[in-house]
Amino acid sequence: MKQIYLLLVLSVLITCSRAQSNAEAAHPQISALEIDPGSVTVLHLRPGYTTSVRLPEEISSVVIGNPASFKAEHSEAEPRLVFIKPTTSQPARSNALITTRSGQEVSLHLVSSGKSVSAQAVDFLLEYKRPRSFLIEPSGMSSFVVADTRDIASENSSVDRETIKDANAIQEELAKQARIASPNWQGKELQAAVGGARAERDQMIVPFSVLNGSERWIELLPPQIQLSSGDGAARSKTKAEPIAIGDYQITQRRLAPGARSDGVVVFARPSFKESRERLMLQVAEADRVDHPIVLPLPFVAATQGGRQ
């Protein structure tokens, strides 16, 4: 009897230990961000867990780049919520685009490390908020929110000058790209070409053009910048890390057959990279996000503007 009792106690202890290990395998995270259409948010997922993404207004569409590895659910009963979870126990990555009824866009980079005994962070809830505004609300109460207290009189002039300089540089590169009659197009139905990159202070300004070579109307997604690594022989062997976009402009997003659009993307280039890594510009259609066109970018811009 004593032996049976000891075996039962040992079995209970092992079961509790395993349950504790499984509970510690995921560190839940709850985050809140402002909507920024020029940035990509990394969402950490894990098999067996569902991640909720809440937006400040009703959602009109959700697109997953790799529907074979990830699943998104959206119900009219919860019009501001999207539930995302991995459908495979293997490590997987993809991107997702959420669009609201007013046209706001949220771009996500989905990362699932697969089932592992090691502890890892998992995003349980990601809540997006409207960007802070300095406008007067309808109720008559102002929404002046100051994140940091500074001497406005001494800083406004320099900040305004730099902002105007950046805006002028973007418009200059956009106009220059539009004047190129025959860019070096790459691709088939969706074609793209990259112009000459320019460094402006700590930012990279890259002009590009997109051509609708198909016989149907298309809608372009916001451009994305990635730092990719791998031999490029197979998509599964290439790992890409998204780089936050500071600003972008594009002449038109809906293109008729044969129509062209010119754009400029601005981002903070990493200070260094490995020899096998490359900067890449990714352009995709709204209904074919899993078939983007990816173009290499120079790591060092040919021209330098702003402060040296």
pLDDT at 144 over 50: no
Structure tokens at 280: 């890449």
Compute the half-sphere exposure of residue 78: CA atoms within 13 Å on the CB side of its CA: 10
Distance CA 178, CA 21 (A): 58
Mean pLDDT of the chain: 78
Q: Is 180 exposed, middle or buried (0-12, 13-18, 19+ CB in 10 A)?
A: middle
pLDDT digits (tens, 9 = 90+) for 169-214: 788 888 899 999 999 999 999 999 999 988 887 788 999 999 999 9
Looking at 7-21, 42-56, 115-129, 286-300, which range is the least confident one?
Answer: 7-21
Matching residue, tokens 């074919």? 288
What is the DSSP code (8-state) at residue 185?
A: -
Q: Are 185 and 192 in contact (CB under 8 A)?
A: yes
Average pLDDT score over residue span 91-112: 88
pLDDT digits (tens, 9 = 90+) for 35-60: 887 788 999 999 988 999 999 888 98
Element (H, E) at 120: strand 120-129
Average pLDDT score over residue span 118-135: 74
pLDDT at 238 over 90: no
Radius of gyration, alpha carbons of the chain? 24
pLDDT at 70 over 90: yes
What is the structure's pLDDT at 1?
52
pLDDT at 265 over 80: yes
What pairs with residue 295 in β-bridges? 281
Kindly indicate the confidence band of residue 6, based on its pLDDT and cuts at 50, 70 and 90: very low
Q: Are 262 and 177 in contact (CB under 8 A)?
A: yes
Average pLDDT score over residue span 63-77: 88
Q: Is 17 exposed, middle or buried (0-12, 13-18, 19+ CB in 10 A)?
A: exposed
What is the structure's pLDDT at 181?
92
What is the DSSP code (8-state) at residue 136?
A: B
Kindly indicate the confidence band of residue 166, based on its pLDDT and cuts at 50, 70 and 90: low
* H-helix segments, the chain: 2-24, 152-178
Kindly indicate the confidence band of residue 302, based on its pLDDT and cuts at 50, 70 and 90: confident
Distance CA 262, CA 193 (A): 9
pLDDT at 86 over 50: yes
**Exposure pattern of 265-299 as b/e (b: 16+ CB <10 Å)?**
bbbebeeeeeeebbbbbbbbbbeebbebbbbebee
Kindly indicate the confidence band of residue 308, based on its pLDDT and cuts at 50, 70 and 90: very low
Higher confidence at residue 103 or residue 207? Answer: 207
Domains in the chain: ranges and CATH: 26-129 (2.60.40.3440), 156-305 (2.60.40.10)
**DSSP per-residue letters across 240-264:** EEEE-EEEEEES-SEE-TT-EEEEE
Distance CA 34, CA 43 (A): 15
Neighbours of 141 (CB within 10 A): 8
